[in-house]
Structure 1
Amino acid sequence: MLIQMVTIRVKPGHADDFIEAFRINYEGTRQEPGNLRFDVLRDPDDGNKFLIYEVFKSEAALEEHRRTPHYQKCVSLLEPIQTGPRTKVFYNAEMADFLAD
């Protein structure tokens, strides 16, 4: 399993635009066979900062995700409202079977 955590900061006054745009990606991603989890989290102290927690079966599944129309549409909608580039951190799930019990 591959875990990707993406931090996105949006310009003040655009949090609702972010949520609307990201709903497209969320709904599409949850239908992908290679996606196991997809959470959109909002910083309680900074309403313009979001963390996306994504779990994919493999790196190949993540690459397939990046080619989907819903991902491409979301990225195009987010670019004008972001304060800077998205940051991404990757993790491998070492005890996924243990944690699933």
Structure 2
Amino acid sequence: MILIVLKASIKPDKREEWLKGITEYTAAVRAEPGNVSFDFYENAQDANEFVIVETFRDGDAGSAHVQTEHARNFFPWMGGVVTRKPYINYQDLDGDAWNEMAEVEPR
């Protein structure tokens, strides 16, 4: 399983363009056969900072992802809306990337 977390700072005047673009990109990535999940979140304290959390079945699915037309178009486009290079945390994990949290028990 591949787990990727990105943190991106968006230019304030590009916020609406970013929201439209990331929403379209999210739908395209979720449709990929090797995608497990893809979500993006806005920072509650900074309306122009976003985090993207994505998981792929395996390294082959991750490699296939970056070769898709939507990814090849999105990455250069993203360069025009960010204030700096995004930060990335890329993890190639054995097994499932998600586990139940031990500290919380539903009642």
TM-score, normalized by the shorter chain, greater than 0.5: yes
Structure with greater helix percent: 1
Alignment of 1:34 with 2:57, yes or no, is no
Q: Provide TM-score, normalisation by structure 1.
A: 0.86
Letter in 1 for 2:24: I
Deviation at 1:24, TM superposition (A): 2.5
**1:3, 1:92 within 8 Å by CA — same for their partners in 2?**
yes
Q: Secondary structure at the match of 1:96?
A: coil
Alignment of 1:57 with 2:57, yes or no, is yes
Residue 44 of structure 2 corresponds to 44
Q: Secondary structure at the match of 1:40?
A: strand
Extract unaligned runs of 5+ from structure 1: none
**1:24, 1:70 within 8 Å by CA — same for their partners in 2?**
no
Alignment of 1:10 with 2:10, yes or no, is yes
Q: Secondary structure at the match of 2:51?
A: strand
Q: Provide TM-score, normalisation by structure 2.
A: 0.82
Which structure: larger Rg?
Answer: 2
Extract unaligned runs of 5+ from structure 2: 101-107
Greater alpha carbon shift after TM alignment, 64-73 vs 89-98: 89-98
Letter in 2 for 1:49: E
Spell out the pairing of 1:70-89 with structure 2 (5 A cutoff): 70-89=70-89
**Cα RMSD for the two superposed structures:** 2.0
Deviation at 1:21, TM superposition (A): 1.2
Q: Which runs of 4+ in 1 moved over 6 A?
A: none
Deviation at 1:93, TM superposition (A): 4.6
**1:32, 1:65 within 8 Å by CA — same for their partners in 2?**
yes
